[in-house]
Structure 1
Amino acid sequence: MEGEILRCSPNLCKLKCFLEEFQDLSFLHRLESLRLTFPIKYVTHLISFPLNLRKLTLVRVFMSREGAKIIGRLPNLVVLKLQNCSFEGNQWNTTEGEFQQLKVLKLSSVRDREWNASCDPFPRLEQLVLENCNLEKIPSNFCDIPTLKMIGVHYCKQSVVESAMQIEEEQRDMGNEELQVIISSYT
């Protein structure tokens, strides 16, 4: 039923929906902003998104490695928000060539402990926000992102705070005086 309604609305630019199961939305060619919420952590195997997508929010998704790569290859994606999501193998592996246009990345209540980013991750990233995540640290090669302007660490482990401070220090050493690190804790 949901798919039939959406197929009658091919000119949608913004869509927020609660889905019982993932549906192919690639036919929504004008869609620029999408928020998908699932009732429980939904396992994604094959994902297809409109290539015009600029903003994507996923809530309660368990992402396969291939699903994560598909999102990383969306050519126009500028904002990515993952809330209460996790990745296959309990780690998120980002590789070179992914997230080429991404400027804002927000991870909220991500349960995975490990995040690995290969060389040249997120070349245009300006804002990284981590809220209530189980991560051990921010990948060290975030030091090499010259466009980074803000890192927000809210209610995360001390090791994440320390990695954010290390990135700030290394960015300052490279001449990036614009980077702000904002930290909130439970104390």
Structure 2
Amino acid sequence: MSTTPNLRKLGLCGALTTRSGDLKCPDIDFLAHLKTLKLFNTIPMSKAGRLSSSILFPRSLRKLTVSNLYLHWKEAWVFELIPNLEVLKLKFHAFVGKGWETSPKAFPCLKFLRFHELDLETWTASHDHFPVLQRLQVYRCPYLMEIPEDFGNICTLEWIELSECSDAASNSARDIREVQESFGNDWPKILLNPRV
């Protein structure tokens, strides 16, 4: 990769973790023009993994897809440090554990967030953690109890889609729409698909 500093899209598929659970992502911080990154780990994990403190992502990164890393949710802070991230897709055990608590102003530019096949139960966040979020998709996260209530105060939110999620999560999405309607807004659109 050192010979391609102008790379704009990159996918890394393979042994991205050690057997003990440490993420061993190559150094890509020098890729100053990288816009899109996909990480897919092929090492099966039996417990939540950890990040190396040396991992840095390029400031230019706009889209990130993470699959099968089995990181503990407390390690998600590293993605909060990507200042221009607009799209984040967390798929197939990207993170494991019961709860995720984001920090204030965590994702200042994030417009699209997708959860797909995660075991997340509680998600603690407020509208100022995702100030410009437009679309939220939650697929096959049957343990998630609710979409954060304060998302009703995200004025840019246009779309919430849930599929194969709990009734409680679906009800929380409806509550968010009711909050928006109380402000005179006819958004966000709520799409609820029945569990299979």
User: Is the TM value for this pair above 0.5?
Assistant: yes
**Residue 117 (1) aligns with residue 120 (2):** no
Shift of 1:70: 1.8
Structure 2 unpaired stretches of 5+: 17-24
Equivalent position of 1:8 in the other structure:
3
Q: Would the alpha carbon gap of residues 31 and 62 (structure 1) be closer, same or farther in structure 2, given more than 3 Å must change?
A: same
1:162 and 1:103 map into 2 onto residues whose CA distance is 23
1:119 and 1:127 map into 2 onto residues whose CA distance is 13
Equivalent position of 1:45 in the other structure:
51
DSSP-derived class of the 1:124 partner: coil
Shift of 1:171: 0.9
DSSP-derived class of the 2:173 partner: helix
**Residue 164 (1) aligns with residue 159 (2):** no
Question: Any idea what the Cα deviations from partners look like across 1:1-45, whole Å, max 9, x if unmatched?
Answer: xxxxx2222211011220312222111111000011001357241
Contact 2:93 2:117 in 1 (8 A): yes
DSSP-derived class of the 1:183 partner: strand
1:76 and 1:48 map into 2 onto residues whose CA distance is 14
Question: Any idea what the Cα deviations from partners look like across 1:146-166, whole Å, max 9, x if unmatched?
Answer: 100000001111111000000
Contact 1:73 1:98 in 2 (8 A): yes
Q: Which stretch shifts more, 12-21 or 147-156?
A: 12-21
TM-score, length basis structure 1: 0.90
Shift of 1:66: 5.7
Equivalent position of 1:26 in the other structure:
29
2:5 and 2:49 map into 1 onto residues whose CA distance is 26
**Residue 79 (1) aligns with residue 74 (2):** no
1:112 and 1:83 map into 2 onto residues whose CA distance is 12
2:59 and 2:71 map into 1 onto residues whose CA distance is 19
Shift of 1:89: 4.9
Equivalent position of 1:3 in the other structure:
none
- Percent sequence identity is 33
1:111 and 1:168 map into 2 onto residues whose CA distance is 25
DSSP-derived class of the 1:51 partner: coil
Structure 1 unpaired stretches of 5+: 1-5
Contact 1:96 1:119 in 2 (8 A): no
**Residue 96 (1) aligns with residue 96 (2):** no
1:63 and 1:179 map into 2 onto residues whose CA distance is 31
Contact 1:60 1:84 in 2 (8 A): yes
Equivalent position of 1:139 in the other structure:
148
Name the count of aligned residue pairs. Answer: 182
DSSP-derived class of the 2:78 partner: helix
**Residue 35 (1) aligns with residue 43 (2):** no
2:134 and 2:190 map into 1 onto residues whose CA distance is 12
2:140 and 2:169 map into 1 onto residues whose CA distance is 11
Cα-Cα RMSD: 1.8
DSSP-derived class of the 2:128 partner: coil
DSSP-derived class of the 1:106 partner: strand
1:180 to 189, 192, 195: 189
The structure in which a higher percent of residues are strand is: 1
TM-score, length basis structure 2: 0.86
